[in-house]
Amino acid sequence: MKILVDEEELKLLLLQLKQGHEPAFNALYLAYSKVLYRKINSIVKDESVADELLQDLFLKVWEKRAWINTDLSFTSFLYTIANNLVYDYFRKVSKDKRLHARLLINAVDYYLQTEENLIGKETSAIIQQAISKLTDQRRNVFTLCKIEGKSYQEAAAALGISVATVNTHMVNSIRFIKEYLRKNQEIGTMLIIASILSQK
């Protein structure tokens, strides 16, 4: 997460925040709010909801200021609160199955579109489970294109198939992964949200 304060200044602001210093709180809000808003909105796809969750997040920061440990990562502290708020929001809307499904798909789309490596992340366990259930050819195509970052042309050449076939395998693989996550909504939603919010 890019912030507008260096490590030394951040520690000073946190110490002041713990003492109830409002200007320090405002400075932290300015430093972190934009990137947190973008990440939250990338999941919920609703600007008003994202704004409300952001305000709730910083309200909790203010309420929990006395317990902030300046020796630990403040970014992780913010992500934990953001993750809990977004997950609670998903749980609330889960009564509306269609809305919950749409929100989950939004989260999956964002996750699958990131350029970061999916393998090796603790929070990608549910994604790895889904990938393991793909057919051999689809798994090979998905691994080359999405995980190794190869172009469709490069994957086609490596596997001896056409670019059109690669495209078909990718479409079907992503559709399968989304469906797998829908069937495992509770854990899938939680892990995807945690992964998105923790991306630097």
pLDDT in tens, 49-67: 899 999 999 999 999 999 9
CATH number of 1-93: 1.10.1740.10
Name every residue whose Cβ is closer than 8 Å to that of residue 30 and which is 6 or more positions away in sequence. Answer: 4
* Per-residue model confidence (pLDDT) at position 83: 82
Three-point CA angle 51, 127, 156, nearest 5°: 115
* Per-residue model confidence (pLDDT) at position 175: 82
Q: Is the pLDDT of residue 124 over 60?
A: no
**Among 1.10.10.10, 2.60.40.1180, 3.30.1300.10, 2.40.30.10, what is the CATH number of 95-200?**
1.10.10.10
As a whole number of Å, the end-to-end CA separation of the chain is 5
Equal CATH topology for 1-93 and 95-200: no
C-beta separation of 4 from 31 below 8 A:
yes
In the chain, where the domains are located: 1-93, 95-200
Per the listing, tokens 């919950």 go with: 100
C-beta separation of 5 from 31 below 8 A:
yes
pLDDT: which is higher, 119 or 180? 180
Q: Which of 10-14, 108-112, 116-120, 183-187 has the highest mean pLDDT?
A: 10-14
Cα distances (angstroms) measured from residue 196 to each of 75, 132, 142, 163, 166? 14, 21, 20, 30, 27
Three-point CA angle 20, 199, 34, nearest 5°: 50
Please list the helix, strand and coil fractions of the chain in percent, rounded to the nearest 5, in that order: 80, 0, 20
Per the listing, tokens 């998903």 go with: 90
Per the listing, tokens 């469709």 go with: 152
Q: What is the DSSP string of 141-188?
A: HHIIIIIS---HHHHHHHHT--HHHHHHHHHHHHHHHHHHHHHTHHHH
Q: Is the pLDDT of residue 94 over 60?
A: yes
Give me the half-sphere count of Cα atoms (radius 13 Å) on the Cβ side of residue 61.
27
Quick: pLDDT tens for 147-158.
Answer: 788 898 999 999
* Per-residue model confidence (pLDDT) at position 122: 38
